[in-house]
Amino acid sequence: MQSPLVGTKESVWRRALTGLRHSVGFGLELLHAPARIREFEHIDPITNEIVYLSTGARYSVLHVGAKRLFFDRVTGQFDGTGELLEERVADGLELLN
């Protein structure tokens, strides 16, 4: 038979860890520390639109459909939008090697 205190000990421990995470997060936010971010991909089941995040040495890039939004990896500030080189070539000019 399980002791009734086992459930409460786990609950107290879980609440303490949650409180610690919130405190650390609040402190990092006050210091404007960069966030740890992982790459992900999500496909909207209704529209079939793909949203994903890719990370590089300097930028985190949020891809929403054909749009690409660049964010600085260190500061997290929005740095602009971009498009593929092929999309920038006007009037069907061919790319030279």
Could you report the per-residue pLDDT of 7-58, keeping only the tens digit for each? 688 888 999 999 999 998 888 888 877 777 889 999 989 988 999 999 888 8
CB 72 within 8 A of CB 79: yes
pLDDT value of residue 84: 58
Per-residue model confidence as pLDDT tens digits over 55-95: 888 888 999 888 899 988 877 888 888 765 555 554 455 55
Domain spans of the chain, in order of start: 1-33, 36-97
Phi first, then psi, for residue 79 (nearest 5°) are: -115, -5
Give the model's pLDDT for residue 91.
44
96 has pLDDT over 70: no
Supply the DSSP string of 36-47, one letter for each residue. P---EEEE-TTT
Q: How far is the C-alpha of 32 from the C-alpha of 76, rounded, in Å? A: 9
Say if residue 4's pLDDT is above 80: no
